[in-house]
Amino acid sequence: MEKRRIVITGMGPVTPLGMGKEKYLEGLMRCKSAVKLITHLDASKFSSRIAAMVQDFNPEEYMDKLYIKRGDRFLQFGIVASILAIKDSKLMESNIDKERIGVIIGSGIGGLKLFEEQHSIFLQTTKVSPYFIPMLITNMISGVVAIQHGFKGPNYAVSSACATSNHALATAFDFIKHGRADVVVAGGAEAAVTNMGIQGFAIMKAISFRNDAPEKASRPFDRDRDGFVMGEGAGVVVLEELEHAKKRGATIYAEMIGVGMSDDAYNMVAPCGDGDAAALCIQRCLKDASIQPADVDYINAHGTSTPDGDIAESNAIKKAFGEHYKRVMVSSTKSMIGHLLGAAGGVELIATILGMRKGVVFPTINIENQDPEIDLDVVPNELRKADVKIALSNSFGFGGHNCTIAIKKFE
């Protein structure tokens, strides 16, 4: 069978820097942190009281009140991001075969806020909402998007912690590549900045406790990093077979050319410090994309701002790139938007595409003293003009799940 090429024709970011690709780009271009003190709940009892929250989110502009009243916030984010991506792609304005359109949108945690609320009601009344289960399970974003648009192709959710979005995108890529679908709406959503979500990560000492300076808390690759900052939102894109996209006159933002996956097989939450398995993931991606390390201009790093994670990723990049590691630009947009967990890969792929099209690389902000063990070009603090033709996006999740995606400027 002739090799099917896969392109991105729609982007739907819902992020702490803005909703929609235009506002998200404006926020990224400012190179400022979206991290603030938590105000939507009483965080005074927690050791970590900071997060990057989606601002001015009004789901009523996009969706039925049923999903607003009864659905968890992660579900709302995912649906809105999908609507934005599909609208951006102009998919519904074309003569399309809806039986050939799939949806694969996941979440690392799912409906945590709804679970907490319903659990409280249950303890008092032994009752829960009849919508309790369907409105918090991770596959329901994909289900609702199909219902809204009549898409009857492959449809389910992926859940692999912080690698969720990349695994969803990789699965969609393979489905189109092997002819199981012509279009797949794919990505991830997360809304875990809740009482139990904050405390769950805090008790592990995984998140930052820099409450006195929230905007400086997310500092990947900096010597004084102390953990990641929780974020929320969704990142969804429309992946499409090239000839299908060209036939309907779609705008093509970039081409997805390869994926790589591996597992650390090491620890439930800690990355393997030597970076061997993550390097294997990157190498598999390069092989799948039929490119060499010297071909890659930029890597949007997983770069969470955890002491061990950043070292492990740095080691992985060095091993995968060999002598080329010092010339490839590596930055973490998590320094601006925090860690969106299961949604991270989606919003980071969109950021990579936006930068590629704008002719810039977004920086790693809050670099005051770069960790001497991380001697990468981390694009510190300032926007850099660059003609990025090929880029990678890394996502590594609890459980040792690794997934890397390769994209190229569309020619």
Phi, psi of 302 (to 5 degrees): -60, -45
Catalytic-residue membership of 324: no
Tell me which residue of 309, 306, 112, 113 sits closest to 207, measured CA to CA: 306
At 199, list the tokens.
């405390």
CA 187/CA 346 separation, integer angstroms = 5
Catalytic-residue membership of 162: yes
CA 236/CA 233 separation, integer angstroms = 10
- Cβ–Cβ under 8 Å, residues 9 and 251: yes
Number of CB atoms found within 10 A of residue 21's CB: 21
- Cβ–Cβ under 8 Å, residues 236 and 383: no
Residue-wise burial string across 115-130, b where 16 or more C-beta atoms lie within 10 A, e elsewhere: bebbeeeeeeeeeebe
Q: DSSP letter string over 115-153?
A: HHHHHHHHHHHS---TTTTTTTSTTHHHHHHHHHHT--S
Number of CB atoms found within 10 A of residue 18's CB: 22
- Cβ–Cβ under 8 Å, residues 224 and 307: no
CA 381/CA 74 separation, integer angstroms = 31
Instruction: Report the interhelical angle of 276-289 vs 307-321 (nearest 10°).
Output: 50
* E strand spans, 60-137: 101-106
Quick one: DSSP state of residue 4?
P
CA triple 20-23-27, angle to 5 deg: 130
Number of CB atoms found within 10 A of residue 23's CB: 14
Point out which residues pair with 158 in neighbouring strands.
none
Phi, psi of 257 (to 5 degrees): -115, -10
- Cβ–Cβ under 8 Å, residues 321 and 293: yes
The active-site residue out of 149, 302, 401, 403 is 302
At 160, list the tokens.
């692999």
CA 115/CA 121 separation, integer angstroms = 10
Catalytic residue positions? 162, 302, 339
